[in-house]
């Protein structure tokens, strides 16, 4: 483990900016809120800021992305297809552990199955990831219930843990090791590992005092969801409150569903575009011939929670599909973010 | 930085968002967490505004009609041509149709151009179903022409009454606030014939028969009297015409009202009590796109006045606007009834005031709405229209007869093809502008991307036209126009772009006494006179009978926004909302009629079975859609199929469009 004094953070970021577009948390001046954004002005990076309102997903899976262009020529009766490649190397600095776990879930969906998604792969290959331990949880957090925080375990190039006047730096890759050496960081000493563990343990024990917005005892809910013993009335109660806006999927660090559209031009090439999509939409599951296996809103709602919490899905992700960031609870107009749904499922079990 | 703070431009909620801008294109959108109203939420439309903002279906050059096609021309040529043609018309020969999606600055100048340059008072808005009516009622009843309540305080209310429409579809984030209020203990009651999602989310749902919302509201007021909760002498001190109103109210028979509305007397009484006992109460009703009618709005206002709920904080009347700047457009006087700042056109002082401010003589004869001009006035020869977002164009044949039509628009659409001259417009992220949401919150939307080459801001187009017509206008930016607005519109007197840049919106009145805006104008400013609004001894019984119940037993209601939004003319340029809104259209390509489960059973109707709907004037064939959401005896047709409008509803359409209380007596026949 290495030691990064606070005043050297700028040097680290400057170094990264030489080869990467730097992304990180910054505060909005007027609303005061934290956004995970591309930073041209590197001094805007704020490692002390709260968990950003948006996950870093847009850096790997943009909300709107042209993926290819094709043109049909009437004369030659041929189609030419051209790949649109605008993927630049990006450094994601100051990722919270939940968001890093979100990326690992996306990896397993896009890269870990039979078909590898080439566009995602290109984004992913060019990433440099620096995670940032939450030394204190934020009000909406419940990552301790989903095994995804408050500190990162894997998947980073470098990992920072704030300790007094600087950061303990954990190296997770060769790329990370190279950067640490280039910056000439000194070893943090033999006590560093213990110190990090102590900081993380303190953070975990302070959830009771600080993380007050959400409680989500996920394991029992996983059991019920997997065995299917949840009454339809519970889903109807949840479905009635769904505004069908798609926000829960859009803000979820692990949601990977997308839509593909062709933007046609009268006399020009067609762009093929990939955009975010959500299982809460009726059109998402609608098939040709008007059949819709998930027509009622409650069926679409429960699909999402199966995806996040059932055992069969967790096997795919090698972890629960929920990383405990609490964002879905904040953006939901119907107040049926995942923690509340877990509460309703538990209430059915306990009969409270 | 790629995420920039902004305001959603769809409905009148005015949610805060972050637009992701890369390479001069809007690539994404995200809710703005710190926004005082939307608090980090967006609806399905708001979540896809970036898809609309990327569309290539823009109008990018001024165009002049030549025969059946258009010729791209230079900006100068378009201005010269337009000015030379406009010179040939007198004020009363021209009508102006403004856009509730355009900014305050644009609407103010559009109105000023009509009145000061063209001397025309034929000025109105598209999609203004009922806002002007609501403003008149509120102005008459409490002296404030807009929301007396506050959206950011509605979670503190004890009691919320939602009347008509379906807020969960029209203004989802306001509905969400109401839902959160209910979850934290507020009592929410909905009054609507349809079982809407809003109704499902309420503790109480009263379902009056179509056309009887006003009667149910009067019955609630009457119940306050029969229960002995409101005494006459207290009331006379508070409200000017209390005695006359009580006379009118006491002539209502609760039992009869219960029969006509189909709502049990006990239900009426218990809701009236619950309402009366609440510490603070809000009423929400829709205006714009779909709207409550004048009679229901008045009855609702009277109910609140009677119970003394209007001048308290954490409560009030809340007309909810369906389009982003509907309220602002009316504030700016794009209306046949008001000059900017709600100065009534009937008053001579209003005209004197504006002649002095604008330093120009005005035509003091009040005008009409553009729709009224087209419908009844043969002397109209020219029409100027901004962003006609309605897919279905009314009076299309009359418009084709006009000598001169100017269209200012950002996107290609059906209306553009009717124009003589087309001016391209910026979309809302390509320039600065302020927008006023339902709760009087004026918010500044700042420029985020450069417009396509050659597109000029609306203020520049209008300034050039004004100059060519002999009135040199000095404007150099939207900011300067706001400075003028602050001098002209008293409610905006304390506003400037500079002030708005550092805030997330300020609620008018913003003036010397309220530099930070006003949350509850009626509570903060005493001394406004209250007055009950009613039309005297109208014959209630007469308005409840069509006299044709035997031949036409069903009440057909036409809905404007339950399964679609704004006839989808805006939504069709997005991907996901288009898919979602079109799902139904694809299932029922020729339209459908909703029939209650009870009626379907009684008539032996199956899903998708073709039926004929016959009214006195016309008939149409539609597919059956059996719905648990409507009352027996009621039929429901959504307003989005062109053929249905032009072929069946055409004669009744103006009434149907105005409000959701209107119904058509019809009968339903099976097609064998």
Residue A77 dihedral angles phi and psi, to the nearest 5°: 50, 45
Q: What is the mean pLDDT of residues B329-336?
A: 97
* DSSP letter string, B485-532: HHHH-GGGTT--HHHHHTSS-EESP-SSS-TT--S-HHHHS--PPB--
Tell me if the domain spanning B131-321 has CATH number 3.40.228.10: yes
Report the residue from A30, A38, A53 with minimal CB separation from B40.
A53
Overall fold of domain B546-670: Barwin-like endoglucanases (2.40.40)
Residues of chain B with pLDDT > 90: what percent? 74
Q: Which of A191-200, A239-248, A280-289, B169-178 has the lowest mean pLDDT?
A: A280-289
Q: What is the pLDDT of residue B652?
A: 60
Q: What is the pLDDT of residue B540?
A: 67
Please tell me whether the peptide bond between B554 and the residue prior to it is cis, using omega within 30 degrees of 0: no
Q: Does A63 contact B35 at a Cβ distance shorter than 8 Å?
A: no
Q: What is the pLDDT of residue B645?
A: 64
Would the pLDDT of B327 be above 70? yes
> What value, to the nearest 5°, has the Cα angle with vertex B34 and ends B14 and B578?
45
Q: What is the pLDDT of residue B275?
A: 97
- Say how far apart CA B269 and CA B266 lie, in whole Å: 5
- Say how far apart CA B130 and CA B655 lie, in whole Å: 12
Q: What is the pLDDT of residue B657?
A: 57
- Say how far apart CA B101 and CA B125 lie, in whole Å: 10
More confident residue, B185 or B580: B185
Strands A270-276 and A64-73, by their bridges, are antiparallel
**Alpha carbon distances (Å) from A234 to A91, A341, A346, B182:** 43, 9, 11, 19
Q: What is the pLDDT of residue B547?
A: 61
- Kindly state whether B608 is in contact with chain A, defined as any CB-CB distance less than 8 angstroms: no
Q: What is the pLDDT of residues B561-578, one digit of tens each?
A: 556 677 777 888 899 998
* DSSP letter string, B454-484: TPPPHHHHHHHHHHHTT------SHHHHHHH
Cα torsion at B595, B599, B600, B601 (round to 10°)? 160
**Partners of A95 in the β-ladder:** A131
On chain B, the residues whose CB falls within 8 A of the CB of A40 are: 1
Q: What is the pLDDT of residue B127?
A: 72
Please tell me whether the peptide bond between A270 and the residue prior to it is cis, using omega within 30 degrees of 0: no
Tell me how close the Cα of A41 comes to any Cα of chain B, in angstroms.
7
List of E strands, B8-87:
16-22, 25-31, 63-66, 69-72
Classify B410 as helix, strand or coil.
coil
Tell me if the domain spanning B63-127+326-432+450-480 has CATH number 1.10.1370.40: no
Q: What is the pLDDT of residue A249?
A: 97
- Kindly state whether B586 is in contact with chain A, defined as any CB-CB distance less than 8 angstroms: yes
Q: What is the pLDDT of residue A291?
A: 85
Mean pLDDT (chain A, rounded): 93
- Kindly state whether A245 is in contact with chain B, defined as any CB-CB distance less than 8 angstroms: yes
Q: What is the pLDDT of residue A156?
A: 98
Q: Which of B77-81, B142-146, B236-240, B301-305 has the lowest mean pLDDT?
A: B236-240
- Say how far apart CA B508 and CA A36 lie, in whole Å: 34
Q: What is the pLDDT of residue B238?
A: 87
- Kindly state whether B573 is in contact with chain A, defined as any CB-CB distance less than 8 angstroms: no
Would the pLDDT of B75 be above 70? yes
Are B128 and B326 spatial neighbours (Cβ–Cβ below 8 Å)?
Answer: yes
Q: Which residue has the tokens 């009434």?
A: B655
Q: Does B41 contact A333 at a Cβ distance shorter than 8 Å?
A: yes
Q: Does B56 contact A282 at a Cβ distance shorter than 8 Å?
A: no
- Kindly state whether B671 is in contact with chain A, defined as any CB-CB distance less than 8 angstroms: no
> Given pLDDT bands bounded at 50, 70 and 90, which one contains residue A313?
confident
Q: What is the pLDDT of residue B393?
A: 81
Q: What is the pLDDT of residue B561?
A: 59
- Kindly state whether B54 is in contact with chain A, defined as any CB-CB distance less than 8 angstroms: yes
Q: What is the mean pLDDT of residues A302-318?
A: 89
Q: Which of B403-412, B450-459, B640-649 has the lowest mean pLDDT?
A: B640-649
Burial class from Cβ neighbours inside 10 Å (0-12, 13-18, 19+) for residue A210 reads middle
> Given pLDDT bands bounded at 50, 70 and 90, which one contains residue B642?
low
Q: What is the mean pLDDT of residues B149-167?
A: 92
Q: What is the pLDDT of residue B660?
A: 66
Q: What is the pLDDT of residues B230-285, one digit of tens each?
A: 887 788 888 989 999 999 999 999 999 999 999 999 999 999 999 999 999 999 99
Would the pLDDT of A166 be above 60? yes
- Kindly state whether A26 is in contact with chain B, defined as any CB-CB distance less than 8 angstroms: yes
Q: What is the pLDDT of residue B662?
A: 78
Q: What is the pLDDT of residues B347-399, one digit of tens each?
A: 999 999 999 999 999 999 999 999 889 988 889 999 999 998 877 787 888 99
**Alpha carbon distances (Å) from B601 to B208, B554, B604, B628:** 22, 15, 5, 12
- Say how far apart CA B123 and CA B113 lie, in whole Å: 10
On chain A, the residues whose CB falls within 8 A of the CB of B580 are: 244, 281-283
> Given pLDDT bands bounded at 50, 70 and 90, which one contains residue B292?
confident
Report the residue from B33, B502, B583 with minimal CB separation from A286.
B583
* DSSP letter string, B548-608: -TTT--EEEEEESSSSSSGGGTTGGGSSHHHHHHHHHHHHSTT-EEEEEHHHHHHHT--TT
> Given pLDDT bands bounded at 50, 70 and 90, which one contains residue B544?
low
- Say how far apart CA B198 and CA B162 lie, in whole Å: 8
- Say how far apart CA B64 and CA B419 lie, in whole Å: 8
Q: Where are the domains of chain B?
A: 3-53, 63-127+326-432+450-480, 131-321, 546-670
Overall fold of domain B3-53: N-terminal domain of TfIIb (2.20.25)
Identify the CA nearest to B209 among candidates B660, B634, B581: B634
**Alpha carbon distances (Å) from B385 to A175, A239, B265, B410:** 60, 42, 49, 12
Rg of chain B on CA atoms, in Å: 25
Q: What is the pLDDT of residue B254?
A: 95
On chain B, the residues whose CB falls within 8 A of the CB of A28 are: 5, 18, 32, 34
CA B426 to chain centre: 23
Are A183 and A9 spatial neighbours (Cβ–Cβ below 8 Å)?
Answer: no
Q: What is the pLDDT of residue A288?
A: 81
Q: Does B50 contact A281 at a Cβ distance shorter than 8 Å?
A: no
Classify B197 as helix, strand or coil.
helix
Contacts of A123 (CB under 8 A, 6+ apart): A59, A60, A61, A87, A90
- What tokens appear for A255 in the block? 């949601």
Q: What is the pLDDT of residue A176?
A: 97
**Partners of A38 in the β-ladder:** A23
- Kindly state whether A138 is in contact with chain B, defined as any CB-CB distance less than 8 angstroms: no
Report the residue from A245, A261, A290 with minimal CB separation from B44.
A245
Cα torsion at B175, B176, B182, B184 (round to 10°)? -150
Q: Does A261 contact B43 at a Cβ distance shorter than 8 Å?
A: no
Q: What is the pLDDT of residues A109-162, one digit of tens each?
A: 999 888 999 999 999 999 999 999 999 999 999 999 999 989 999 999 999 999
Identify the CA nearest to B160 among candidates B276, B280, B269: B280
Would the pLDDT of B546 be above 60? no
Are A47 and A160 spatial neighbours (Cβ–Cβ below 8 Å)?
Answer: yes
Residue A22 dihedral angles phi and psi, to the nearest 5°: -90, 130
Report the residue from A246, A282, A333 with minimal CB separation from B173.
A333
Mean pLDDT (chain B, rounded): 91
**Alpha carbon distances (Å) from B505 to B444, B516, B668:** 7, 9, 50
- Number of A–B residue contacts, CB under 8 Å: 129
Report the residue from B16, B50, B504 with minimal CB separation from A64.
B50
On chain A, the residues whose CB falls within 8 A of the CB of B1 are: 26, 37-41, 44
* DSSP letter string, A121-151: HHHHHTEEEEEE--SS--TT--HHHHT--SS
Q: What is the pLDDT of residue B246?
A: 93
On chain B, the residues whose CB falls within 8 A of the CB of A281 are: 44, 576, 579-580
Would the pLDDT of A285 be above 80? yes
Q: What is the pLDDT of residues A210-236, one digit of tens each?
A: 988 887 778 888 988 888 888 999 999
Report the residue from B16, B43, B579 with minimal CB separation from A243.
B43
Q: What is the mean pLDDT of residues A155-182?
A: 97
């Amino acid at each position: 483990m290495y030691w990064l004094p606070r005043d050297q953070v700028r040097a680290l970021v400057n170094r990264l900016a030489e080869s990467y577009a730097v992304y990180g948390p910054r505060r909005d001046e007027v609303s005061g809120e934290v956004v995970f954004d591309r930073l041209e002005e590197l001094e805007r990076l704020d490692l002390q800021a709260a968990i950003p309102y948006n996950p870093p997903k847009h850096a790997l899976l943009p909300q709107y992305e042209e993926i290819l262009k094709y043109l049909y020529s009437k004369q030659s009766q041929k189609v030419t297809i051209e790949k649109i490649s605008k993927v630049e190397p990006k450094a994601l600095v100051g990722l919270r552990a939940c968001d890093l776990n979100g990326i690992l879930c996306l990896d397993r969906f896009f890269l870990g199955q039979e078909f590898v998604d080439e566009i995602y792969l290109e984004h992913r290959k060019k990433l440099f990831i620096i995670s940032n331990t939450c030394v204190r949880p934020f009000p909406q957090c419940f990552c301790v219930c989903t095994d995804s925080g408050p500190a990162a375990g894997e998947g980073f190039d470098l990992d920072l843990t704030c300790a007094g006047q600087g950061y303990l730096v954990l190296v997770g890759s060769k790329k990370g090791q190279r950067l640490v050496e280039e910056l000439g960081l000194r070893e943090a000493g033999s006590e560093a590992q213990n110190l990090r563990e102590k900081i993380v343990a303190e953070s975990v024990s302070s959830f009771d005092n600080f993380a007050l917005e959400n409680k989500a005892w996920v394991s029992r809910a996983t059991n019920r969801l997997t065995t299917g013993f949840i009454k339809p009335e519970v889903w109807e109660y949840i479905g009635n409150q769904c505004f069908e806006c798609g926000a829960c999927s859009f803000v979820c660090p692990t949601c990977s569903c997308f839509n593909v559209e062709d933007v046609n031009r009268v006399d020009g090439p067609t762009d093929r575009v990939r955009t975010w999509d959500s299982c809460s939409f009726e059109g998402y599951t609608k098939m040709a011939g008007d059949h819709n296996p998930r027509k009622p809103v409650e069926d679409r709602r429960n699909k999402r929670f199966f995806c996040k919490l059932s055992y069969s899905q967790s096997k795919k992700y090698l972890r629960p599909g929920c990383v405990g960031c609490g964002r879905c609870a904040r953006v939901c107009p119907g107040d049926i973010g995942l923690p509340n749904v877990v509460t309703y499922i538990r209430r059915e079990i306990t009969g409270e | 930085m790629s995420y920039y703070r902004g305001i959603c431009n769809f409905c009148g909620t005015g949610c805060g968002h972050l637009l992701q801008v890369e390479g001069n294109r809007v690539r994404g959108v995200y809710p703005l967490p710190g926004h005082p109203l939307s608090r980090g939420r967006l609806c399905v439309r708001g979540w896809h505004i970036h898809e609309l903002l990327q569309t290539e279906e823009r109008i990018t050059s001024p165009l002049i009609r030549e025969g059946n096609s258009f010729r791209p021309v230079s900006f100068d040529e378009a201005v010269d041509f337009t000015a030379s043609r406009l010179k040939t018309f007198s004020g009363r020969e021209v009508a102006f149709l403004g856009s509730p999606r355009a900014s305050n600055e644009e609407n103010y100048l559009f109105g000023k151009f009509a009145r000061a340059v063209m001397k025309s008072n034929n000025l109105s808005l598209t999609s203004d179903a009922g806002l002007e009516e609501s403003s008149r009622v509120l102005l008459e009843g409490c002296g404030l022409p807009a929301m007396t309540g506050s959206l950011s305080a509605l979670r503190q209310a004890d009691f919320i009454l939602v009347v008509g429409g379906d807020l969960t579809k029209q203004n989802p984030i306001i509905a969400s606030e109401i839902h959160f209020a209910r979850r934290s203990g507020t009592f929410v009651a909905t009054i609507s014939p349809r079982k809407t999602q809003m109704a499902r989310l309420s503790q109480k749902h009263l379902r009056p028969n179509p056309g009887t919302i006003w009667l149910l509201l009067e019955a609630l007021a009457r119940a306050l009297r029969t229960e002995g909760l409101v005494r006459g002498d207290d009331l006379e001190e508070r409200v000017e015409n209390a005695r006359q109103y009580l006379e009118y109210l006491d002539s209502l028979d609760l039992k009869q009202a219960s029969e006509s509305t189909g709502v049990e007397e006990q239900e009426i009484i218990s809701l009236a009590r619950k309402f009366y006992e609440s510490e603070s109460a809000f009423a929400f009703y829709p205006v714009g796109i779909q709207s409550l009618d004048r009679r229901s709005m008045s009855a609702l206002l009277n109910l609140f006045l009677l119970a003394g709920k209007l001048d308290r904080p954490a409560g009030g009347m809340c007309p909810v606007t369906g389009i982003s700047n509907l309220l602002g457009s009316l504030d700016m006087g794009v209306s046949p009834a008001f000059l900017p700042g709600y100065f009534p056109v009937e008053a001579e002082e209003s005209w004197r005031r504006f002649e002095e401010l604008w330093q120009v003589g005005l035509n003091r004869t009040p005008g009409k709405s553009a729709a009224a001009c087209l419908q009844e006035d043969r002397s109209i020869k020219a029409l100027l229209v901004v962003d006609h977002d309605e897919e279905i164009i009314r009076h299309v044949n009359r418009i084709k007869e006009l000598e001169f039509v100017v269209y200012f628009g950002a996107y290609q659409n059906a209306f553009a093809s009717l124009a003589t001259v087309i001016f391209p417009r910026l979309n809302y992220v390509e320039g600065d502008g302020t927008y006023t949401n339902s709760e009087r919150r004026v918010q500044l939307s700042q420029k985020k991307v450069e417009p396509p080459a050659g597109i000029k801001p609306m203020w520049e187009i209008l300034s050039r036209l004004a100059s060519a017509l002999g009135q040199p206008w000095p404007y150099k930016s939207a900011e300067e126009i706001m400075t003028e607005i602050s001098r002209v519109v008293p409610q905006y007197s304390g506003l400037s772009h500079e002030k708005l840049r550092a805030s997330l919106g300020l609620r008018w009145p913003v003036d010397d006494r309220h530099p930070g805006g006003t949350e509850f104008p009626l509570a903060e400013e005493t001394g406004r006179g209250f007055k009950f609004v009613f039309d005297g001894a109208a014959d209630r019984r007469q308005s409840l009978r069509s006299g044709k119940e035997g031949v036409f037993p069903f009440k057909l209601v036409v809905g404007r926004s339950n399964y679609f939004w704004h006839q989808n003319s805006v939504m069709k340029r997005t991907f996901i909302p288009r898919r979602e809104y079109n799902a139904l259209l694809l299932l029922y390509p020729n339209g459908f009629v909703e029939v209650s489960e009870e009626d379907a059973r009684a008539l032996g109707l199956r899903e998708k079975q073709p039926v004929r709907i016959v009214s006195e004037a016309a008939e149409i064939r539609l597919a059956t859609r059996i719905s648990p959401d409507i009352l027996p005896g009621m039929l429901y047709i959504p307003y989005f199929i062109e053929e249905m409008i032009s072929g069946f509803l055409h004669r009744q359409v103006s009434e149907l469009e105005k409000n959701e209380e209107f119904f058509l007596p019809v009968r339903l026949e099976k097609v064998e």
